[in-house]
Amino acid sequence: MDTFKALGISPGRAICYSGFREEQVPGESYPSYEQVKEDLLILQPDFKYLRMYDSGRHTQTTLEVIRNENFDFKLMLGAFIVAEMNNFNCPWGGVYSEEKLEENITLNREKIQKLIELANAYPDIIFSLSVGNEACVGWTDHYVHENKVLEYAKLVKAGAKQPVTFCENYEPWQCKLENLARELDFISVHTYPVWEYKHIDEALDYTKQNYYSVAEKYPDKPVIITEAGWATNSNGRGINPENVNELYQKIYYEKLMAWVEKEKILTFFFEAFDEPWKGSPEPLEPEKHWGIYKVDRTPKLVMRPYEKAV
């Protein structure tokens, strides 16, 4: 299925964007207007679509920059819903007090309402809406029951005009999220071969398997990829250090783009810039090293003009 045509948008490359720099942390300190403008100037030559994960301060600044500076970007906007249930299977947390879970339910309602408000305030920029990110997969630390995600999807569809989705790992779409899939306007899949110990030589075939396992299950729904990427460093936590470097990222990016452009599948590469606030304090924590640009905004191998032209 031509997912661009199904969503009523023109073909173009897409990237997940979060602009937090050194010493900036969500909830504490945020990129400035000028920093966001710098980022978008870097991304503009290569990308038309951005994905952002919540409707908070950083996203609002980004929307202001796009409108004020007349940048040619369209945005997929999300509501990053947080844990409403304990997940005892999460290896890095996922268990909270009952009071915290009740607070989170209230917070999630506010997040969904903010998503609707921004969608209506920026209809010329925001082209689609997601009611959550990896909130139903078995290892998540922000578990929300699929029936609640379904309720949130209905609320957003009633309150905004943009098509509505939910962004999740490919696996829960196989059986767990069938009712949710029926309600959504399109389905959004995440695929990470390197997290599943695949070598670069296996990577694209594995991504195709992940994608088609969902697309073939829901032939009447557009299915896009909202996260696919390759880390460039690892301390061994979850990813074999031998499987990650800038060359492998370049190889995966180029093979992935060739395939999805041929098949006309909207695909958000993860991600634009390294984010040092993520994961553990260890500098080689893989969560910090998914950007196609380093945190100082210098390009990694995949985005260096000379190597791209060769």
Residue 269 sits in a domain whose CATH number is: 3.20.20.80
pLDDT band at 308 (very low <50, low <70, confident <90, very high): low
**Joined tokens for residue 134:** 């990896």
Residue 247's contacts (CB-CB under 8 Å, 6 or more residues apart) are: 301
Distance, CA of 194 to CA of 236 (rounded, Å): 12
pLDDT reported for residue 310: 43
Helix runs in 122-199, H state only: 146-159, 178-183
The answer to whether residue 307 scores a pLDDT higher than 60 is no
pLDDT tens, 23-32?
999 999 999 9
pLDDT 10s digits, 126-145 = 999 999 999 999 999 999 99
Three-class secondary structure of residue 89 per DSSP: coil
Tokens of residue 284, six digits: 């080689």
Q: What is the reported pTM? A: 0.96
Contact 85, 144 (CB under 8 A): yes
Tell me the pLDDT tens digit for each residue of 21-79: 999 999 999 999 999 999 999 999 999 999 999 999 999 999 999 999 999 999 999 99
Mean pLDDT to the nearest integer, 206-225: 98
| Straight-line distance from the first to the last Cα atom of the chain, in angstroms, rounded to the nearest whole number | 32
pLDDT tens-digit readout, 94-130:
999 999 999 999 999 999 999 999 999 999 999 999 9
Q: What is the pLDDT of residues 251-276, one digit of tens each?
A: 999 999 999 999 999 999 999 999 99
**How far apart, in whole angstroms, are the C-alpha atoms of residue 169 and residue 157?**
22
CA distances from 275 to 24, 78, 240, 284, 285 (A): 9, 19, 20, 12, 11
Whole-number Å distance between alpha carbons of 57 and 60: 5
Count how many domains the chain has.
1
Q: Residue 65: how many CA atoms within 13 Å on its side-chain side?
A: 21
Percent of the residues in the chain that have a pLDDT greater than 90, as a whole number? 95
Domain span including residue 236: 3-309
- List, as own/partner pairs, every contact residues 51-54 make where C-beta atoms lie below 8 angstroms and the sequence separation is at least 24, other chains included: 51/14, 51/15, 51/16, 51/17, 51/75, 51/76, 51/78, 51/226, 51/268, 52/16, 52/17, 52/18, 52/76, 52/77, 52/78, 53/16, 53/18, 53/78, 53/80, 53/133, 54/78, 54/79, 54/80, 54/111
Sign of CA dihedral 288, 140, 105, 222: positive
Judged by phi (left if over 0) then psi (alpha if -120 to 50, else beta), residue 274 lies in beta
Contact 3, 265 (CB under 8 A): yes
